[in-house]
């Protein structure tokens, strides 16, 4: 998993729960990187799982809710780090439609060892989109938060529902309808 995901995660923990919580989860988790990340580095995905599990124990919030909250936070971090990737979009649905064929393709050029999910579009109208998230990492709640923030980024909002096609969350169908 790319370092930018770790640096954004620790920033979120600091801003929402304080520096002491950052220190506690790094101390309590046995991390081979010792909690030191650079945005271009690549680290074991299991370290992220340990950090999120540690945070969940520390703040008594379920892991899935924390992953979703992190998705909301991460969208802004990615957009600020790579404004060129999203500047060609003028609507959230247009952006979502292009994750697979443009956004993550560009990400793969920036970070050749990035491990990205796939999004298969099932249907798109002027006001809605449905698509299937697939990834062995099962981070569909992260996708949920990223999608929701994409609407906020364009000063909009949406109704977002999802159904697990596979119980472990490695394949999940999203139905997204724009409000207003």
Q: Which residues bind ligand HEM (CB under 6 A)?
A: 1-2, 4-5, 78-79, 82, 85-86, 96, 99, 103-104, 107, 111, 114-117, 135, 137, 139, 142-143, 146-147, 150
As measured in angstroms, the least distance from the Cβ of 74 to ligand HEM is 8
CB closer to ligand HEM out of 26 and 147:
147
Map residue 85 onto helix, strand or coil.
Answer: helix
CB closer to ligand HEM out of 24 and 77:
77
Angle at the Cα of 6 (from 70 to 89), degrees rounded to 5?
60
**What contacts 145, CB < 8 A, 6 or more positions away?**
67, 68, 69, 70, 71, 72, 73, 74, 75
Q: Compute the half-sphere exposure of residue 22: CA atoms within 13 Å on the CB side of its CA.
A: 16
As measured in angstroms, the least distance from the Cβ of 54 to ligand HEM is 19
As measured in angstroms, the least distance from the Cβ of 20 to ligand HEM is 27
Q: Which helix (H) or strand (E) holds 163?
A: strand 158-164
CB closer to ligand HEM out of 82 and 173:
82
Q: Compute the half-sphere exposure of residue 6: CA atoms within 13 Å on the CB side of its CA.
A: 25
Q: Compute the distance between CA of residue 26 and CA of residue 30 in angstroms, rounded to an integer.
A: 8
CB closer to ligand HEM out of 59 and 116:
116
CB closer to ligand HEM out of 26 and 176:
176
As measured in angstroms, the least distance from the Cβ of 36 to ligand HEM is 17
As measured in angstroms, the least distance from the Cβ of 78 to ligand HEM is 4
- The strand pairing partners of 161, in sequence order, are 175
Map residue 60 onto helix, strand or coil.
Answer: coil
């Amino acid at each position: 998993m790319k370092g930018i995901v770790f640096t954004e995660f620790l920033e979120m923990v600091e801003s929402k729960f304080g520096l002491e919580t950052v220190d506690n989860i790094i101390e309590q988790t046995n991390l081979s990187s010792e909690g030191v990340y650079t945005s271009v580095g690549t680290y074991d995905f299991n370290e992220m799982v340990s950090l999120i599990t540690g945070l969940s124990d520390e703040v008594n919030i379920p892991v899935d809710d924390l992953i979703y909250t992190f998705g909301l936070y991460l969208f802004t971090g990615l957009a600020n780090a790579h404004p060129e990737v999203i500047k060609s979009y003028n609507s959230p649905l247009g952006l979502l439609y292009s994750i697979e064929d443009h956004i993550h393709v560009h990400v793969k050029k920036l970070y050749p060892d990035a491990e990205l999910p796939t999004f298969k579009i099932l249907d798109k109208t002027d006001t809605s989109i449905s698509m299937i998230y697939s990834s062995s990492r099962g981070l569909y709640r992260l996708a949920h938060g990223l999608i929701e923030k994409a609407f906020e980024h364009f000063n909009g909002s949406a109704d977002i529902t999802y159904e697990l096609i596979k119980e472990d969350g490695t394949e999940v169908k999203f139905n997204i309808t724009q409000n207003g």
